[in-house]
Amino acid sequence: MDLRDKVARIIREEMGDCLADLEYRGPYEGEEFTVYIGLRYEPEDLEERNLRMRDRVEELGRYVAMVLDFPKEAIAA
Amino acid sequence: MEEVDFARDTIAFVQMFLQMGITNPWFYRAFIGRLYYAAHHLGRRLLAEAGLQPADWRVNVHQRVTQELNQHYVVSGRMSRQAWLALGELCGLRLAADYELQRSIRLRHVNHALALFTRFAQECYHNLEVS
């Protein structure tokens, strides 16, 4: 499983059904890549999920940028 | 400390412009960029206080600041992992604002950047013993 797959799996596990899509871009400034995490809605525990996701990706030991792409109309689940 | 002054000015101006009702996405990109760099400079100040010389670094500076903050502040318990991760997330937002011109940058992103900046800056101020 390459880095992109590992990161995608972590994001899907943490974001669950609030995840709409993933888009890979870059690299821009030395990162492996930047992944845009499209959200269908903002769950109440988004902050906790976000922290766990970033912690787990950080443990992979590679520099990956992740950007939450909020829905145009934020809907709290 | 000029980094602390710059950080305070940055958040003050961003909040002022938002309260004025600025809604043009060009400004949103600028706000996110300035918030990131204010945080980046606070990080560099912390590292200087720890005896490093980030002013002399020339390669992968942003990543190195993040890595060294982890080594010198997070591992020792002087900075929470949450605050440290906030800097990394703010950097990603800045990359989006600077490079993804076709991507919509909205007020929600600015508010998120403000929250990330505040989380990181508060722990920096604590370590620098400033209010």
Residues 16-75, chain A, touching B (beta carbon < 8 A) = 25-26, 28-31, 34, 36, 50-51, 54-55, 58, 63, 65-70, 72, 74
The CA distance from A51 to A38, in Å, is 16
pLDDT per residue as tens digits for the range B90-125: 999 999 999 999 999 999 999 999 999 999 999 999
Please judge whether B109 and A31 are an interchain contact, meaning their C-beta atoms are less than 8 angstroms apart: no
Q: How confident is the model at residue A53 (pLDDT cuts 50, 70, 90)?
A: very high
Reference B13, options B38, B33, B31; nearest CA is: B31
The CA distance from A24 to B92, in Å, is 13
The CA distance from A19 to A7, in Å, is 14
Please judge whether B96 and A67 are an interchain contact, meaning their C-beta atoms are less than 8 angstroms apart: yes
Give phi and psi for B61, each to the nearest 5: -65, -45
pLDDT of residue A2: 94
Cβ contacts (< 8 Å) between A29 and chain B: which residues? 62, 95
List, in order, residues 6 or more apart from B65 with CB less than 8 Å away: B40, B43, B44, B47, B54
Please compute the mean of the pLDDT values over residues A30-48 and round it to a whole number. Answer: 95
Cβ contacts (< 8 Å) between A54 and chain B: which residues? 85, 88-89
From the list A29, A54, A69, the residue facing B85 with the nearest CB is A54
pLDDT per residue as tens digits for the range B50-89: 999 999 999 999 999 999 999 999 999 999 999 999 999 9
Cβ contacts (< 8 Å) between B63 and chain A: which residues? 30-31, 63
Reported ipTM: the value is 0.89
